Chain A
Amino acid sequence: MSAHHPAAPVGGKLFNTATLVCGVLIAAMIAVLFVRFIFGLGAVTNLNDGYPWGIWVVFDVIIGSAFACGGFSVAMLVYIFNRGHYHPLVRPALLASLFGYTLAGVGVLFDLGRWWNFWHILWPGYANPNSVMFEVAVCISAYVMVMWIEFSPVFMEQWGLKVQKQKLEKVLFFFIALGTLLPMMHQSSLGTMLVVMGPQVNPLWQTPIVPLLYLLSAITIGYGIVLFESCVAASAYRREIEIHLLQPMAKIMLGVLAAYLAVRFSDLIVRGALGHALAPSLEAFFFWLEMACFIAPFAIVGTPAARRNPARLFVAGVSIMLGGILLRVNGFLIGYDTGLGVDHGWNYFPSIAEMLVTIGMFALEVLGYIIITRRFPVLPHEAATH
């Protein structure tokens, strides 16, 4: 059971329906971005001064990076908690994380109104260490580099760079430690970004413990996304599903989720904010929707038998991902209100063009995942499974 099988390229054609669809979506995104960079953000987005951040920030960066926590969550399980038998899950999870974070970093540039100055955020003299966004930017930049280093043995194996690989593996433990610390820092800080917005954020999501909530939820989302990816990869590549690994991992996921929910509700009760959840408002509706998505996995995969059912694991993973989306969308968009709409209230709903960019970014991730898993040793070698 503990033996892990060497990873191998899946092989097969790179040009197929899935990659073609991805290509078309990516082309649409490039067209929108062309207009955005020539004419400005207002030409393609529905952003306004009441909602200065739209889906490019909240989905592409804040949710995108949380969805890229699979690598972090699994690596923590394997290397920190020394659960070595989960090792086959590390590479695919790390690959998805690598793409998620790299693209989140690129996605930021689309949204920056004065993007040519982006380097200021890391430049002494400009950088403001008091800013939560500064901390997020430093940690995400560092983490992207660390992940490329963590993932580089895959390329070295493929290209036969044995000596380099051995040298790297001697110090890899440090990068793995760093790769565990950095996501903890910025995933929590992504939540802390709400704090400075003060009373503009609904009390259901405005709390001084928001960093802990975002960190715990990011870890659970990490496991949720591994369930999701394992099921999708197994079905798309017609491979055997790693149930013997996913079953116990789902149990760990429920444990972290329980801790998250305990912290979430205790905080609401202590701050006396639960009343806002009982108000007949859009915010309250979305709060309960978010809660339902986080609680549902206990009903779906609560028993060991249920956890051996791939369909249930898949649905539980999706449910946690939706909960994670809602926690972030609720804090940054639905629960956000300047409260200053005296003469005209502010509204925001993403434009088609904004959605095309978000979808295009997702397509880019899927395309990259397909190309790399088909050509590089990421997924466990099929012949060796059972």
Chain B
Amino acid sequence: MTTRRDFLRGCLASGAAAASAVLPETACARDTLKRPPEGLGLLYDATLCVGCQACVAACKQVNENPAEFTAMDKLWDTPLDTTGHTFNLIKMYRNGTMETKDSELNGFSFMKTSCMHCADPSCVSACPVSAMTKNPETGIVGYDPDACIGCRYCVAACPFGIPKYQYDSPTGKIGKCELCRHRHKDGHYSACAEVCPTGATLFGRTEDLLAEAKRRLALKPGEWTTIPRGRLRPAQEKVLAGGEDGKGQKHRHGWRDEPDQSYQAQVGNYLQHVYGETEYGGTQVLKLSAVNFQKAGLPDLPPKSSAATSETIQHTLYGGLIMPIAVLAGLTWVAKRNVVPEDDDQKGGKS
């Protein structure tokens, strides 16, 4: 029958397996990923936003999304949140009498809701079939419906609540902002930034946008400054812009030629924080606001991404399949000694 030695051997084998579930932060640790240097993004400045929703309408148009009605008279597109058919929305913070714009007390403020294009996106880490991918150059988090199995792990994983599923369809897809990547080949950039009348939503390289955000934070509230609109052109672009392509409409940087749309505006009463600079390792969409970001509907996130934590656990346990194979070898060895063909064994176990 059972001997103490067999029992101890069994203990050892499953002890090793159990130990494999405890995770030392070893060589397998996966650091939080950083933004790619040429990553593209948006800068949203809540103090410049007038809540006109032109960006919402433009986003609907270029992504061929239907209007969503929530009011009795179905006259206007009135989504209450981003959905599988609404990738961009301007939400409103309201308090008390709502007299003053950009004031937390008795005031109101706007906040853009759309994909943040994280440096280390939870949705990409979660997706089991690589339907969510991050472009290594532009950093755009894109979605491929042909790969997607519709498990909605991305919906559950995203701390910004961005990927949304189309529950109303038997073949529903995930809907989310892809920074208008389908329009880039024609020299167009994100439609929300293209149409924004105040420059509240600005398109550009995230590094340039971050510099612009910090420039605004350094200014004195109330003073006048130049605010770019549409696409933020970095200083060195003027040098690059010398050569036109055959059609004379696109420059070497790939974007359509546009007249300078910058204008003079007053500096907002900013909180000294660029939202997205460090959150979850940074995001490519950055935000400025005078009202507390959490009150405006953005989550308070640590600098370490949860994708890094999750993948560290997985790689520690399963990296190179070393741990599973070692445990399997141990278990096989023990099982071989203990499993006796039933026909020859009426005693139940090795004697």
The CA of A208 and the CA of B317, in the complex, are separated in Å by 12
- Among A193-215, those with CB < 8 Å from B are 193, 195-200, 208-209, 211-212, 215
B18 / chain A contacts, CB cutoff of 8 Å: 184, 212, 215-216
- Among A152-166, those with CB < 8 Å from B are 153, 166
The CA of A39 and the CA of B171, in the complex, are separated in Å by 9
* A-B pairs with beta carbons under 8 Å apart, 12 shown: A40-B167, A82-B7, A85-B348, A113-B172, A113-B173, A118-B149, A131-B127, A132-B310, A135-B314, A177-B335, A198-B157, A198-B280
The CA of A188 and the CA of B19, in the complex, are separated in Å by 12
Interface string of A1-14 (1 = CB under 8 A from B): 01110100000000
User: Does A83 interact with chain B (Cβ within 8 Å)?
Assistant: yes
Q: Which interface class (under 10, 10 to 19, 20 to 34, 35 or more) fits A? A: 35 or more
Please judge, given known A-B contacts A80-B14, A131-B126, A199-B159, whether A85 and B349 are in contact too, CB under 8 Å.
yes
User: Does A52 interact with chain B (Cβ within 8 Å)?
Assistant: yes
B126 / chain A contacts, CB cutoff of 8 Å: 131-133, 196
Contact of B313 among A45, A115, A195 (CB under 8 A): A195
B164 / chain A contacts, CB cutoff of 8 Å: 49
Beyond A80-B335, A80-B338, 15 additional contacts (C-beta under 8 Å) are: A40-B172, A52-B165, A78-B338, A79-B339, A113-B151, A114-B173, A120-B147, A137-B128, A177-B335, A178-B331, A189-B314, A195-B309, A198-B306, A209-B23, A340-B297
Interface string of A159-189 (1 = CB under 8 A from B): 0000000100110111011101100110011
A42 / chain B contacts, CB cutoff of 8 Å: 167-169, 172
Q: Is the CB of B349 within 8 A of A188?
A: no
Question: Residues of B at under 8 Å CB distance from A?
Answer: 1-3, 6-7, 10-11, 13-14, 17-18, 20-23, 80-81, 83-84, 91, 93, 122, 125-130, 145-153, 155-157, 159-161, 164-173, 280, 296-297, 299-302, 305-307, 309-311, 313-314, 317-318, 324, 327-328, 331-332, 334-339, 341-343, 346-350
Interface residues of chain A: helix, strand, loop or mixed (majority): helix
- Of the listed stretches A63-71, A121-129, A269-277, A294-302, chain B binds A121-129
Min distance, Cβ A262 to any Cβ of chain B, angstroms:
13
Q: Is the CB of A41 within 8 A of B167?
A: yes
Min distance, Cβ A205 to any Cβ of chain B, angstroms:
14
Please judge, given known A-B contacts A48-B167, A130-B314, A199-B159, whether A180 and B331 are in contact too, CB under 8 Å.
yes
Q: Which of A4, A82, A188: most chain B Cβ within 10 A? A: A82
Question: Residues of A at under 8 Å CB distance from B?
Answer: 2-4, 6, 37-42, 45, 47-50, 52-53, 76, 78-85, 87, 111-115, 117-118, 120-121, 125-128, 130-135, 137, 153, 166, 169-170, 172-174, 176-178, 180-181, 184-185, 188-189, 192-193, 195-200, 208-209, 211-212, 215-216, 336, 338-340, 342-344
Q: Is the CB of A87 within 8 A of B348?
A: yes
Q: Is the CB of B349 within 8 A of A83?
A: yes
Q: Is the CB of B347 within 8 A of A3?
A: yes
Q: Is the CB of A177 within 8 A of B331?
A: yes
The CA of A193 and the CA of B11, in the complex, are separated in Å by 28
The CA of A344 and the CA of B82, in the complex, are separated in Å by 12
A112 / chain B contacts, CB cutoff of 8 Å: 149-151
The CA of A48 and the CA of B164, in the complex, are separated in Å by 9
Min distance, Cβ A270 to any Cβ of chain B, angstroms:
13
Please judge, given known A-B contacts A79-B338, A118-B149, whether A131 and B172 are in contact too, CB under 8 Å.
no
Q: Is the CB of A166 within 8 A of B343?
A: yes
Please judge, given known A-B contacts A3-B347, A52-B156, whether A197 and B313 are in contact too, CB under 8 Å.
no
Please judge, given known A-B contacts A185-B324, A196-B310, whether A344 and B80 are in contact too, CB under 8 Å.
yes
B336 / chain A contacts, CB cutoff of 8 Å: 173-174, 177
Contact of B331 among A39, A181, A188 (CB under 8 A): A181
Q: Is the CB of A114 within 8 A of B172?
A: yes
Contact of A52 among B127, B155, B168, B169 (CB under 8 A): B155
Min distance, Cβ A218 to any Cβ of chain B, angstroms:
11
What is the chain B residue whose CB lies nearest that of A123?
B129
The CA of A73 and the CA of B10, in the complex, are separated in Å by 13
B309 / chain A contacts, CB cutoff of 8 Å: 195-196, 198, 208
B337 / chain A contacts, CB cutoff of 8 Å: 82
Contact of A126 among B22, B129, B296, B338 (CB under 8 A): B129
Please judge, given known A-B contacts A114-B145, A120-B129, A197-B157, whether A53 and B152 are in contact too, CB under 8 Å.
yes
Please judge, given known A-B contacts A113-B151, A208-B309, whether A37 and B170 are in contact too, CB under 8 Å.
yes
B129 / chain A contacts, CB cutoff of 8 Å: 117, 120-121, 126-128, 134
Please judge, given known A-B contacts A40-B167, A49-B81, whether A192 and B346 are in contact too, CB under 8 Å.
no
Contact of A197 among B156, B169, B327, B348 (CB under 8 A): B156
Nearest 7 pairs between A and B by C-beta? A84-B349, A113-B150, A42-B167, A198-B306, A114-B150, A84-B348, A177-B331
A49 / chain B contacts, CB cutoff of 8 Å: 81, 83-84, 155, 161, 164-165
B170 / chain A contacts, CB cutoff of 8 Å: 37-40
The CA of A269 and the CA of B311, in the complex, are separated in Å by 24
Please judge, given known A-B contacts A84-B349, A127-B129, whether A41 and B172 are in contact too, CB under 8 Å.
yes
The CA of A180 and the CA of B80, in the complex, are separated in Å by 49
Q: Is the CB of A176 within 8 A of B339?
A: yes
Q: Is the CB of B148 within 8 A of A128?
A: no
Q: Is the CB of B314 within 8 A of A132?
A: yes
The CA of A57 and the CA of B348, in the complex, are separated in Å by 39
The CA of A76 and the CA of B11, in the complex, are separated in Å by 10
The CA of A79 and the CA of B81, in the complex, are separated in Å by 55
What is the chain A residue whose CB lies nearest that of B350?
A82
Contact of B125 among A113, A131, A153, A170 (CB under 8 A): A131
Q: Is the CB of B128 within 8 A of A131?
A: yes
A172 / chain B contacts, CB cutoff of 8 Å: 339, 341
Q: Is the CB of B7 within 8 A of A81?
A: yes
Q: Is the CB of A192 within 8 A of B314?
A: yes
Q: Is the CB of B122 within 8 A of A197?
A: yes
Please judge, given known A-B contacts A38-B170, A49-B155, whether A211 and B21 are in contact too, CB under 8 Å.
yes
The CA of A120 and the CA of B173, in the complex, are separated in Å by 16
The CA of A338 and the CA of B299, in the complex, are separated in Å by 9
What is the chain B residue whose CB lies nearest that of A344?
B80
Q: Is the CB of B339 within 8 A of A4?
A: no
